[in-house]
Amino acid sequence: MQKIMTIFGTRPEAIKMAPVVKQLVADEQTKPIVVVTGQHREMLKQVLDFFQIHPDYDLAIMKKNQSLDQITSRVLLGLAPILDQEQPDMVLVHGDTTTTMAASLASFYHHVPVGHVEAGLRTWDMASPFPEEANRQLTDDLASLYFAPTDLSKQNLLKEHHPADRIIVTGNTAIDALQYTVNHDYHHDVLSQIPDDHRIILLTMHRRENQGTPMNNVFQAVRDVALADPRLDIVYPVHLSPRVQEQAHQAFAGIANVHLIAPLDVVDFHNLAARSHFIMTDSGGVQEEAPSLNKPVLVLRDTTERPEGVTAGTLKLVGTDREQVRQAMQALLTDDQQYQRMAAAQNPYGDGHAAERIVDCCKQFLTKDIM
């Protein structure tokens, strides 16, 4: 039996690691050990509950308004005794959070090979997104096996001279996860408050580098559009970060057609996305999911590490300037041709079988059948 430890800590890592955990559980040759750092608490629990994942260890590190230093040091110190005790054959991490980077470093210090799920995403700009671009580059420096979601992410890894025989293009496990969640008889309370002839825009915004002025600019643009059209409803499940909560509640106080709601569990979020007219977001994961749901996305950032969605036509990078965001919203609301072009684009992130490929490659890597 090969002992494969998955380590993750936030909502998006959990959503995209869940299909891998499920696959490890189903495979008779692997013994999965699930460690969560608890970088997120409530937002992580929502995902674990839905996928019925019961962690073997929970470091429970989250503190209100935690700093990057606190997350990093607590993860490193918390993982050390677990790695010593369990001696896994391999560790799998996902993406680009501070949990991802610190868990890779802890594994490296304990001589455990790391497989990086969603390897090779790049903006090549250390300030955007911050600190995720550094986290993903550092993780790739420490990893032994790279699960690149697309050919482009493989090319990024090759440019950095990571060995070609350790890079496997698998597709993104976000697409695997969608197969567990989307259903057509979906109902949510927020939907019953919205008349059938209204259009819904789904909004999420949380990134550290957007907090403050950029987020405020976007919120003002959304206010402008919402106030001008009462037959439009903006649904914003607000991230639990106290800074984001404060900004959102200040900006949208008293606007009846902007609905600030608690973070949705993953089933609610995916189904609400599927019912929306379009999506506005600075999230990474949402950029991967939207093409499969045929929903245009206005990306509220200046850069994206997911240019495949821009090339395919689903994603439009609009930045955070108030007027630019307002115009981009108006265009999607009034220009049907543009809307249809974006909605009809092909999903470039895989076929929903990424987790199977990842687990197969781990087994081959550990038995030295490949590489």
Nearer to ligand UDP, 170 or 173 (CB): 173
Q: Which residue is nearest to ligand UD1 (CB)?
A: 97
The site for ligand UDP (CB under 6 A) is made up of 11-12, 15, 204, 206, 237, 263-264, 266, 269-270, 283-286, 289
Residue 269 touches which member of ligand UDP, ligand UD1, none, C-beta under 5-8 Å by kind = ligand UDP
* Residue 178 Cβ vs ligand UDP, minimum distance, rounded to whole Å: 9
* Residue 347 Cβ vs ligand UDP, minimum distance, rounded to whole Å: 14
In terms of C-beta density within 10 A (0-12 exposed, 13-18 middle, 19 or more buried), how is residue 338 classed?
Answer: middle
- Contact between 104 and 93 under an 8 Å Cβ cutoff? The reply is yes
Residue 64 touches which member of ligand UDP, ligand UD1, none, C-beta under 5-8 Å by kind = ligand UD1
Tell me the catalytic residues: 96, 118, 132, 206, 208, 239
The site for ligand UD1 (CB under 6 A) is made up of 10-12, 39-44, 62-66, 68, 97-98, 131-132, 206, 208, 239-242
DSSP string, 140-164: HHH-SEEEESSHHHHHHHHHTT--G
* Residue 168 Cβ vs ligand UDP, minimum distance, rounded to whole Å: 22
Residue 194 touches which member of ligand UD1, ligand UDP, none, C-beta under 5-8 Å by kind = none
Separation CA 147–CA 172 (nearest Å): 9
Separation CA 125–CA 137 (nearest Å): 11
Residue 68 touches which member of ligand UD1, ligand UDP, none, C-beta under 5-8 Å by kind = ligand UD1
Residue 241 touches which member of ligand UD1, ligand UDP, none, C-beta under 5-8 Å by kind = ligand UD1
If we measure between CA atoms, which residue out of 348, 280, 281, 345 comes closest to residue 313?
Answer: 345
- Contact between 309 and 342 under an 8 Å Cβ cutoff? The reply is no
Bin 278: left if φ > 0, else alpha if -120 < ψ < 50, else beta.
beta
* Residue 348 Cβ vs ligand UDP, minimum distance, rounded to whole Å: 17
CA atoms within 13 A on the CB side of 217: 15
* Residue 127 Cβ vs ligand UD1, minimum distance, rounded to whole Å: 14
Residue 40 touches which member of ligand UDP, ligand UD1, none, C-beta under 5-8 Å by kind = ligand UD1
Separation CA 160–CA 243 (nearest Å): 36
* Residue 25 Cβ vs ligand UDP, minimum distance, rounded to whole Å: 21
- Contact between 17 and 53 under an 8 Å Cβ cutoff? The reply is no
The pairing of strands 315-317 and 232-237 is: unpaired
- DSSP percent split of the chain into helix, strand, coil, nearest 5: 50, 15, 35
Separation CA 70–CA 12 (nearest Å): 20
Tokens of 68: 């990057």
* Residue 43 Cβ vs ligand UDP, minimum distance, rounded to whole Å: 7
H helix intervals, 209-335? 213-228, 242-252, 266-275, 285-293, 307-312, 322-334
Nearer to ligand UD1, 32 or 263 (CB): 263
Nearer to ligand UD1, 103 or 225 (CB): 103
Residue 65 touches which member of ligand UDP, ligand UD1, none, C-beta under 5-8 Å by kind = ligand UD1
Nearer to ligand UDP, 17 or 266 (CB): 266
Phi and psi at 257, nearest 5°, equal -95, 15
If we measure between CA atoms, which residue out of 90, 158, 25, 110 comes closest to residue 365?
Answer: 90
Nearer to ligand UDP, 42 or 323 (CB): 42
Tokens of 12: 């998006």
